[in-house]
Amino acid sequence: MERKRLFLVGIPETHIEKAIMRAKQLGFDVLLGDSEASLKKYEHLIKEADQKIVLDYTNDENLFSVVKEIHDKEPLDALFTFKETGLFNVSKLQQAFHLKGNPPSVVQTCLDKYKTRRLLKKAGLNSPNFGLCRCVEDVYDFWNKSEHPIILKPRSQQGSIGVIKVEKREDIEACFKECSKHDDEKSILAEEFIEGQEISIEAVVCQGKVEIFGVTEKQLYPGTFVESGHISPYQYQEKHQDFYKDLVKGVVHAVGIVFGPLHIEGYHTNKGFVVGEVHTRYGGDNIVTITEIAMKCDMHTPIFAELAGVPYKPERKPVPNEVCAVRFLETNQGIVHAIKGLSELKRMGNVVDFHVNCSVGDSIGPIKNSYDRAGWMIVKGKNEREVNDALRDAIDKIKIIIR
């Protein structure tokens, strides 16, 4: 039987190895495309890919040229990306080559926070009050109509880049200038500040149905919007399970999503649940790993099975056997003098994996976005208390010494 051909665009280093394995088990030959630097950096994770292809998925002309040449020689059966910065370009190719995926208009809507907000509001879904600001006067107008503080954010960025909390009126002009540096739309989004427990819902639209894999609780570094960790499952996940299912169905209908993974952020507040951002991709920050461990699920195969035309029904295990968390490292600012304790981490039974992003001699600055974090560790346990105890022990062992 002739094997089908799946082109994966972009390397999600935390789960690409599993993704390739699962696609091949469904009968795919796997082609993998990314930059030359990424293919080399992660070559130990992508050995099982049948073909590695150098491309720039953020450049629509380059991506189209590469994919068309491959498709013309031997047609592709499926095209899929894990990368937010590749979603729109890949969706255009899926449409051009009549391959399964979300329409480009839907993908573009989810990438643009302002467009997403408008559709959620139109559908009657509870989300933050918002306003489009093309100039600083628009921000002042929003401030005058809103409770304080407010949030300014770029329309189409990720990783908390450019997100600023404005607490005083006299700071508006400086905050607007800083936020605008990170936006190519010549306009930014102003939103009311939401206080509550932030969570994310990891789900999928497959075979025309919504399935929820898990709900993850988020933690932030103090005074920032940057995640310091995630824990799965959220302690009240089972209590709200039916609500989450209906919510995801409402979001899917409002935005027009027809296929693929979903990462929906939101807040439990004293005034009800507030929908945050909507992404047509898997969650980053090792969320796939901790969700699969905690919920005993497989987040890739439902997607790949539908792309392959293979019947598949996700297993539902509503009661997790474990709790799993990722915690990001926090260090002082300065030059890295030494990194100690890694061998001790390897011997800890509760530690699943860890990674340090810095090396001796690197300069560590303040944490302004997700890319400023010094590393991470994943820990699992029988319950949340065991996980938190293990995290404290692990954090005590690893020492990033700054001079």
Question: Which CATH number do you get for residue 9?
Answer: 3.40.50.20
Do 317 and 330 belong together in one domain?
Answer: no
Overall pTM > 0.85: yes
**Domain endpoint, select from 321, 337, 356:** 321
Q: What is the pLDDT along the chain (403 residues), one digit of tens a residue?
A: 578 999 999 999 999 999 999 999 999 999 999 999 999 999 999 999 999 999 999 999 999 999 999 999 999 999 999 999 999 999 999 999 999 999 999 999 999 999 999 999 999 999 999 999 999 999 999 999 999 999 999 998 777 788 999 999 999 999 999 999 988 778 999 999 999 999 999 999 999 999 999 999 999 998 888 999 999 999 999 999 999 999 999 999 999 999 999 999 999 999 899 999 999 999 999 999 999 999 999 999 999 999 999 988 777 665 557 999 999 998 999 999 999 999 999 999 999 999 999 999 999 999 988 889 999 999 999 999 999 999 999 999 999 999 8
Question: Which CATH number do you get for residue 371?
Answer: 3.30.470.20
Do 227 and 311 belong together in one domain?
Answer: yes
**pLDDT value of residue 319:** 59
**pLDDT value of residue 161:** 83
Domain annotation covers residue 106? no
Nearest alpha-carbon partner for 355 in 376, 373, 338, 370: 376
Domain annotation covers residue 357? yes
Do 317 and 329 belong together in one domain?
Answer: no
Do 269 and 284 belong together in one domain?
Answer: yes
**Domain endpoint, select from 157, 192, 227:** 192
Do 222 and 301 belong together in one domain?
Answer: yes
**pLDDT value of residue 224:** 86
Do 24 and 92 belong together in one domain?
Answer: yes
Domain annotation covers residue 19? yes
Question: Which CATH number do you get for residue 148?
Answer: 3.30.1490.20
**Domain endpoint, select from 139, 161, 192:** 192
Domain annotation covers residue 112? no
Domain annotation covers residue 171? yes
Task: Write out the residue range of the structural domain in which residue 133 sits.
Answer: 129-192
Domain count, the chain: 4
Domain annotation covers residue 23? yes
Q: Is the dihedral of CA 151, 154, 156, 157 positive or negative?
A: negative
**pLDDT value of residue 160:** 74
Do 141 and 181 belong together in one domain?
Answer: yes
Do 147 and 169 belong together in one domain?
Answer: yes
Do 56 and 74 belong together in one domain?
Answer: yes
Domain annotation covers residue 120? no
Do 256 and 291 belong together in one domain?
Answer: yes
Tens of pLDDT, residues 224-272: 889 999 999 999 999 999 999 999 999 999 999 999 999 999 999 998 9
Do 209 and 297 belong together in one domain?
Answer: yes
